[in-house]
Structures are given as structure tokens and as C-alpha cells.
């Protein structure tokens, strides 16, 4: 999920839910929260809401432990926004705030602020939404939660754009892209870049880390080549890779030719095997 791959996240979470059984302990509850998040990101908010409410004890989500409840209510609020049930989303966001206040946790407060920002954006309070999202981002950054901060800045950018402040929206998206880069989340970065382009910001350039020219194998790959190798492993076509990374298909073809040479392979299947073998051997 952190890398922005809801399909893989959904499959893993479904397996985890099945393995843990009834939500009588934290691992089983956490698995359901992960699955609900993947369902929302997969554009299935109705199933996510049903899972949260039905499996976790009802509207108050009583089976969710206290420190985790703000995140669960934030997720429930997003489900209801996506379903067009804004008053119920407001209720869920308010419960997230109440739980965060009771916990006294800065991380919980950041989650609650993000939930409130999402509601404010969908109730015509764009500037207030931006302020809440930026507060959430700053709190997350103080905690070292780079991915959460990037997501909050991306939400702030949506609100700022709606409020007519395109310049600030672009700045927030640029910071979000940098955060996603730090986390190794290229798909999330690509989504933020699409928002940048919709705002008319066309110059998006990535400096990729060089590979080690003195060796062979994966260590010899540049950051961009490694990105493409992983997308090949995900069975993405050249056209799909080009669209995701904002490259031309000819550039992708050139990178794949370089992969063949550096990895000493002759097919995309062998690229995937090299990546999977490396991942299995990683500590």
C-alpha cells in the first residue's frame, strides 16, 4: 500500500484476514484495516465500509484498539466521502478527532486533522481544508512519518487548487513528490505528478541515482533502471511503464535493452527472476 499498489495490498490483506480468522486480537483487526484501505484505494469504498462496520463491531468500531481508532475512523470517513454520504463522513471525522484527543498522541492528531481536512474539502471549505492538511503534514514530519506527510501535502494541494491558490498547490505537490521519492513510492509520486500537470506545471524532472559501473547485476543499475525492472516484474507493458513514469516508449525500450546487458539476460521473464531472486536474498 505504501508503494501505491492497491492490487497487491488487497491480495496480501485478504490472505492475512483469512489466516487470522475472527477479529478477536490485534493482528486480525489490523489485517481488516489494511484490507479496507486497499479496497478504498481500489475504488471499492462500499466494500471497505461494510468490512469496517460489520467486522469491527458496528458504527463505533469497538473492536479497534484505542491508539488505532483515529486511523480507522479516518478511513471510514474517506469511504463515506467516496460514497457521497458527507454527513456520515463528518460524524466519522469527529469520532477520529475525539479519539485522538483522548489518546494524546501526536500521530493520532495528525490522522484526525487529515480526516477533518477531507471533510472540509467536500463541504466547500477549501481554505480550511488546506490549513488542516498542512497541520497534519507538519505533525507527521516532526514524527518522521514521511509517507503520511506527503499524503497530507497532496490533500492540501487539492484544497489549495480549489481555493484558487495554484502557486501554493504546486509547491505542496512538489514536496509530496519529494516525499514519495524518499519512501520509494513511484506510483504515488506519479499520481501527484498528474495533479501537477493538471495545474499546468509541465517541467517535472527526476535525477536518478547512478549505478555502479564497476560491477554487474542489480548493483550496476541506475535508480531509473531499477524502477523499470520492478515494473517489468509487475508484468507491466512498455506502454504502461512509459505512462506511469512519464517517459516515451522509446526511452523505456532503451532502458530495457540496458537491463538486458547489465543483468546478462535475454528476456523480460529473466529480468523478473533477477529482481525476485534479489528480494528473496535481501535481509
Distance of CA 196 to the CA centre of its chain: 17
Q: DSSP letters along the chain, please?
A: -TTS-HHHHHHHHHHHHHHH-SSSSHHHHHHHHHHHHHHHHTT-HHHHHHHHHHHTTSTT-TTS-GGGHHHHHHHHHHHHHHTT-HHHHHHHHHHHHHHHHHHT-HHHHHHHHHHHHHHHHTTT-HHHHHHHHHHHHHHHHHTT-HHHHHHHHHHHHHHHHHTT-HHHHHHHHHHHHHHHHHHT-HHHHHHHHHHHHHTT-------PPPP-TTS-GGGG--HHHHHHHHHHHTT--HHHHHHHHT--HHHHHHHHHHHHHHHT-SSHHHHHHHHHHHHHH--
pLDDT recorded at residue 248: 81
Q: What are phi and psi of 179, to 5 degrees?
A: -65, -45
pLDDT recorded at residue 282: 57
pLDDT recorded at residue 206: 53
How far is Cα 61 from Cα 88, in angstroms, rounded to an integer?
A: 14
Identify which of 226, 216, 213 has the alpha carbon closest to the alpha carbon of residue 263.
216
pLDDT recorded at residue 95: 97
CATH code, 217-281 = 1.10.10.10
Q: Tell me the three cell numbers of residue 54.
A: 460489520
Select the CATH number that applies to the domain covering 1-123 from these four: 2.60.40, 1.25.40, 1.10.10, 3.30.70.
1.25.40
Identify which of 54, 56, 10, 59 has the alpha carbon closest to the alpha carbon of residue 34.
10
pLDDT recorded at residue 87: 95
Per-residue pLDDT of the chain (283 residues; tens, 9 = 90+): 887 888 889 999 999 999 999 999 999 999 999 999 999 998 999 999 999 999 999 999 999 998 899 999 999 999 999 999 999 999 999 999 999 999 999 999 999 999 999 999 999 999 999 999 999 999 999 998 989 999 999 999 999 999 999 999 999 999 998 888 877 788 888 889 889 989 987 655 454 555 554 455 788 888 888 889 989 998 999 998 888 777 788 889 989 999 999 999 999 999 999 988 887 775 5
pLDDT digits (tens, 9 = 90+) for 150-177: 999 999 999 999 999 999 999 999 999 8
What region does 65 belong to: left with phi over 0, alpha with psi -120 to 50, or beta? Answer: beta
Cα dihedral: 210, 214, 219, 220 (round 10): 60
pLDDT digits (tens, 9 = 90+) for 22-56: 999 999 999 999 999 999 998 999 999 999 999 99
Amino acid at each position: 500500500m505504501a508503494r501505491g499498489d492497491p492490487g497487491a495490498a488487497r491480495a496480501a490483506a485478504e490472505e492475512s484476514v483469512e489466516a487470522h480468522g475472527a477479529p478477536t486480537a490485534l493482528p486480525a483487526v489490523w489485517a481488516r484495516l489494511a484490507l479496507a484501505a486497499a479496497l478504498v484505494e481500489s475504488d471499492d469504498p462500499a466494500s471497505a465500509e461494510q468490512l469496517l462496520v460489520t467486522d469491527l463491531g458496528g458504527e463505533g468500531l469497538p473492536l479497534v484498539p484505542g491508539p488505532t481508532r483515529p486511523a480507522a475512523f479516518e478511513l471510514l470517513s474517506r469511504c463515506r466521502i467516496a460514497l457521497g454520504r458527507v454527513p456520515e463522513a463528518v460524524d466519522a471525522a469527529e469520532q477520529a478527532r475525539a479519539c485522538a484527543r483522548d489518546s494524546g498522541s501526536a500521530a493520532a492528531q495528525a490522522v484526525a486533522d487529515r480526516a477533518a481536512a477531507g471533510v472540509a474539502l467536500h463541504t466547500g471549505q477549501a481554505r480550511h481544508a488546506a490549513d488542516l492538511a498542512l497541520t497534519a503534514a507538519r505533525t507527521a514530519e516532526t514524527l518522521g512519518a514521511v509517507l503520511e506527510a506527503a499524503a497530507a501535502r497532496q490533500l492540501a494541494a487539492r484544497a489549495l487548487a480549489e481555493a484558487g491558490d495554484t502557486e501554493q498547490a504546486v509547491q505542496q505537490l512538489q514536496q509530496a513528490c519529494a516525499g514519495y521519492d524518499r519512501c520509494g513510492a513511484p506510483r504515488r509520486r506519479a499520481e501527484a505528478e498528474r495533479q501537477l500537470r493538471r495545474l499546468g506545471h509541465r517541467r517535472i524532472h527526476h535525477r536518478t541515482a547512478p549505478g555502479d559501473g564497476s560491477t554487474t547485476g542489480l548493483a550496476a543499475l541506475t535508480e531509473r533502471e531499477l524502477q523499470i525492472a520492478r515494473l517489468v516484474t509487475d508484468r507491466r507493458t512498455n506502454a504502461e511503464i512509459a505512462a506511469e513514469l512519464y517517459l516515451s516508449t522509446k526511452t523505456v525500450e532503451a532502458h530495457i535493452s540496458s537491463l538486458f546487458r547489465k543483468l546478462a539476460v535475454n528476456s523480460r521473464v529473466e529480468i523478473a527472476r533477477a529482481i525476485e531472486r534479489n528480494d528473496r536474498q535481501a535481509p
